[in-house]
Amino acid sequence: MVRDVRRVTAPIVTGVLAAAGLLLAHPLQGTQGSSRPAVRNVIFINGDGMAAAHREAARLYYAGLDGQLTMDTFPSSGQLTTSPDDPEDVVTDSAAGASAWATGVRTYNGAISVDPAGKALPTLGAQAKAAGKATGLVTTAQVTDASPAAFFANATDRAVQDDIARQYLQVSKPDVILGGGEDWWLPAGSPGAYPDQPAEDPTEGSRGTKGDLIAQARADGYRYVSTPAQLAAAGPGKLLGLFANQEMFQQRPEGQGDVYAPVVSLATMARKALDTLATDRDGFFLLIEEEGVDEFAHNNNGARTLQAMGELEKAVTVARDYAARHRDTLVVVTGDHETGGLAVEEVNATDESGDGTSAEDGPFPVKGSTFRFVIDWTTTAHTGQDVPITAYGPLADRFTGKHPNTFVYDVLKPVLTR
């Protein structure tokens, strides 16, 4: 039974590295019909919880009525469905959503790149590594959280983040690992750079069961960094950077300790990852994720959701600028699901549809105008909406149209395993 498999929390199936390539039906070329270089590098960007309304709210706030976000200037766009293969749920979570991208197989909520029966599946990150490419992940969540884990690990339960960290070091071996989640890399009672029970969240603290994985990473040749200065000073080679106990922010409702102030920004981590991975002559695969969009939307926190969208946009610009200089780079931006049932509405005091946490947020200014808008919410959970996907670079046109989320794997696997 799937439910029995889902509840298993101890030793998880190991990652599967090898997989055969799948040939495309047409040449690897760009969106204008002109010959473009074959894809050598892939930058895949996840705005966790981001759907069309999140992008529109951010566009109005940051670019104005006639402006565009960088992610919306990409020449190719489409939609992805998000449904899981779950016996109880029709709406996906991040684990099942990212697993569909990373393996091409829909699965149950909570699964990390295993099929509905709990069998480990080959992942894009591990396959790219096996093909000789450099690989990396950058996130404002724990580096072992569901979305990055799906590309580099296998687990029947997303909760086993210490085992996911172990798999990074022993199985999939990404070259760059940057984000939060130091607690999962150290044994309980052995705090690292970030102290246990910090004032901003006393529930945080080291909790690993796999030994001192930071020490193991160092022994395996990773340079470990935990501050902006250390990150900036890090030279070539494998890099592990952990910049928070858990997520790199405090995800709470407005005025209740909600803080988005990462020690190091998503764009800075993305830029460092690109500098590091770009030295590999065989190319690279990089996952970039902004987790704050999802977490603040879960709390129906409009101001912080917009802030997280702004930081995601900066990271997208870093990736786009890199791809503009390296024409063999494909950049893809999407979201794993929608969070919050977010709607962009006119300012109208008679149209309030919620109260408490779910009350309308705003009004927020439309940049460069006298207009304002409000953000309204229908839920604190995920919804089943399709999500937009935009792409830049060679092969971007493959994402035009409406596709299941497993289509991401179908497109990326051939170019990452050649």
Q: Judge contact between 270 and 318, C-beta under 8 A.
A: yes
8 Å CB contact between 45 and 319: yes
Find the distance separating the first CA and the last CA of the chain, reported in whole Å: 37
4, burial (CB in 10 Å: exposed 0-12, middle 13-18, buried 19+): exposed
Q: Which residues sit opposite 289 in a β-bridge? A: 46, 139
Other beta carbons less than 10 A from residue 322's beta carbon: 20
Residues 331/290, Cβ–Cβ less than 8 Å: no
Environment class of residue 263 by beta-carbon count within 10 Å: exposed (0-12), middle (13-18) or buried (19+)?
middle
Strands 361-365 and 372-376 turn out to be: antiparallel
Residues 6+ apart with CB under 8 A from 350: none
Rounded Cα–Cα distance for residues 200 and 189 (Å): 19
Whole-angstrom distance, CA of residue 21 vs CA of residue 23: 6
State how far the Cα of 86 lies from the Cα of 1, in Å rounded to an integer.
11
Is 94 one of the annotated active-site residues of the chain? yes
Q: What distance in Å separates the CA atoms of residue 398 and residue 330, rounded to the nearest whole number?
A: 11
d(CA 250, CA 239): 25
Q: Choosing from 94, 99, 206, 226, which is the catalytic residue?
A: 94
Residues labelled as active-site residues: 94
